Amino acid sequence: MAMIDRQLALEIATRDLPKDCVLEAREAQELPSGWYFPYRSAPVRRYAGVIINKRTGKAFRLGSYFPLQTGLSLYERGYQFETYDLVIVEVADLERTILALQTLWIGVDELEYESGIVWHTLRLFTPDELRSRLSKLPTVFGDLGFSSTAESLEQARESGVFIFEVHESRNWKRR
């Protein structure tokens, strides 16, 4: 499959612009794996722009929660999805891994039904639950958000505490 050039990337980027966003095509940046198009205006500065993957053509809306260069760098390191699944494949230091995972706010979605409403409550994993999960590798923690976890995971990667992969979260089960 041919790589997506700037012109095709621009067409893809303009197809699904969020409401009230204006694309700044003249200031596009070529990245090793994508084309970044900044937004000139966006509602409440929620989005900084969009990255179109050169290989797949998939659009990733880059939020404004990081400085721009941090967001672009994280994209190049594999954080190319709004939500992803974290697969831990090796642990070098169990206790430091547990501490690092606790900063990610991962847990179990507990469901309750009351007054005609299904309530979702995130219950964070305890250190003992994390220790148990990490006793059998690989282990998966699903549906994590890019904005709340990517920087912490990169700090863990750089310190060598554990080795992991990130995969796009599909949010469905196959039996």
Please report whether residue 174 resides in a domain: no
Residues 62 and 147: their CA atoms lie apart, in Å, by 9
Average pLDDT over residues 128-156: 90
Of 76, 93, 124, which residue constitutes the final position of a domain? 76
pTM higher than 0.85, yes or no? no
Angle at 94 between CA 88 and CA 99, to 5 degrees: 85
Among 43, 59, 76, the domain-final residue is 76
pLDDT of residue 64: 78
* The two structure tokens encoding residue 3: 């790589």
Cα gap 97→155, rounded to integer Å: 11
Overall number of domains in the chain: 2
Query: What pLDDT, in 10s, does the model give residues 151-162?
Result: 889 889 999 999
